[in-house]
Structure 1
Amino acid sequence: MKQLASVVAFGISIALAGCDRHPQTPTADAEAAVVEPAADPAAQGPARLDGYGPLTLGATVDEVRAAWKEPLQGEVADDYCHALRPQGSQADDVILMIEGKRLVRYDVRNDRIVAPGGGKVGMSLGRVQMLYPDRGDLTPHKYDEKGHNLRVGPATEGGALINFEINGEGTVTAWRVGKTPQVDYVEGCS
């Protein structure tokens, strides 16, 4: 009978311990971490891990200019790093990095274009990390002592990387896609 009383007392103490809990209110980061189901990949926009719009990483300058169909600002006089920018309606959408006279990277600094996998400018670091679980390495930002870079590895071997720049408030300010070493050039072509 003593054993039964001990078991009952133990069960009651466990049940009462659960009553002392208070519901937690979700934080802003927890709410922001909710990931909506992915839409049709074709509807998500021009950004891809292998290129941007009609462009493919590794394409020659001539192939880039022919595929873009609209004028691109910038000259590529040699094999060093150069930036090409669209003119017209897409002028602020993307910066194309050319090195060795080939497309090696592209940069986005606005919230209109969604990165491959769903990240974009304006998102919190927590939400971006939820979109790319187990693939992101967080490193300090070179110029912002409170900022970071989230370098997202490719889902498959040999693929391009995504590098998200995060400011001191924990918000994505820019991102870029490319292969190493160009995706890691902090200053771009400077």
Structure 2
Amino acid sequence: MKQLGSVMALGMVLALAACERSPETPSADAEAAVPIPAADTAPAAPATAAPGTATHGPARLDGYGPVALGSTLDEVRAAWKAPLQGDVADDYCHALRPEGAQAEDVIFMIEGKRLVRYDVRNDRIVAPGGGKVGMSLGQLQTLYPDRGDLTPHKYDEQGHNLRVRPATEGGALVNFEINGDGNVTAWRVGKTPQVDYVEGCS
């Protein structure tokens, strides 16, 4: 009986000791296996675009915003959603402008009832490849070193055009108008022959 009491007492001591034990520290291998929450990971640094590559924004070589070069007039109106000012009554060249846009904002050229070109005359919109109104000829030639052809300006004896050829056959061109001071005053994107219309639709 005395022996039974000793065994019971020993069992109680061991049980109490087990309750007071602190949790085991995980090994280094176990910690490595625990995934780090995504919120704790550092964001990747934004990639820097190489000179001459397309930049983020509405202007693209294949279109502008939601509209694509080559789209029919109905497709342009449906994609743009907001009203476009200008009437297209036949297959000749017509200009469409977003309602409420300023004179220097984007203008869509419609010919054969398709979008064939768009023009920009402000420094808020960046052209495909990084050029924009206000840049110097030297800056443009740095951005477009391989495919830019310098041609005379039709009306300004001191001015030029920098005509950026497409990287692939049949692609759109970018044409920058440069005044006598050597600065960009306007640019346009389109395919030939429309991109070379000097007076636009007039």
TM value normalised by structure 2: 0.72
Q: Is 1:169 the equivalent of 2:189?
A: no
Cα deviations across residues 106-158 of structure 1 (Å, max 9, x unaligned)? 00000000000000000000000110111011000000010000000011111
Q: Is 1:38 the equivalent of 2:10?
A: no
| 1:187, distance to aligned residue in structure 2 (A) | 0.1
**Contact 2:93 2:112 survives alignment (8 Å):** yes
Larger Rg: 2
| 1:57, distance to aligned residue in structure 2 (A) | 0.4
Where does residue 11 of structure 1 map in the other structure?
Answer: none
Distance between the aligned counterparts of 2:137 and 2:80, measured in 1?
32
Does the residue aligned with 1:44 lie in a helix, a strand or coil? coil
Q: Which amino acid aligns with 1:139?
A: T
Where does residue 122 of structure 1 map in the other structure?
Answer: 134
Unaligned runs of 5+ in 2: 1-47
Distance between the aligned counterparts of 1:147 and 1:164, measured in 2?
11
Q: Which amino acid aligns with 2:122?
A: N
Q: Which amino acid aligns with 1:38?
A: A
Does the residue aligned with 1:88 lie in a helix, a strand or coil? coil
Does the residue aligned with 1:188 lie in a helix, a strand or coil? coil
Any residues of structure 2 matched to 1:15-164 within 5 Å, and which? 37-38=48-49, 44-88=56-100, 92-164=104-176
Relative to structure 1, the CA distance from residue 144 to residue 42 in structure 2 (aligned partners, 3 Å threshold; closer, same or farther) is closer
| 1:42, distance to aligned residue in structure 2 (A) | 9.0
Distance between the aligned counterparts of 2:168 and 2:150, measured in 1?
20
Q: Which amino acid aligns with 1:151?
A: R
Relative to structure 1, the CA distance from residue 186 to residue 52 in structure 2 (aligned partners, 3 Å threshold; closer, same or farther) is same
| 1:92, distance to aligned residue in structure 2 (A) | 4.3
Aligned Cα root-mean-square deviation (Å):
1.8
Aligned residues: 153
Unaligned runs of 5+ in 1: 1-36
TM value normalised by structure 1: 0.77
**Contact 2:55 2:130 survives alignment (8 Å):** no
**Contact 2:55 2:128 survives alignment (8 Å):** no
Q: Which amino acid aligns with 2:127?
A: A
Cα deviations across residues 69-112 of structure 1 (Å, max 9, x unaligned)? 10000000000000000013677420000000000000000000
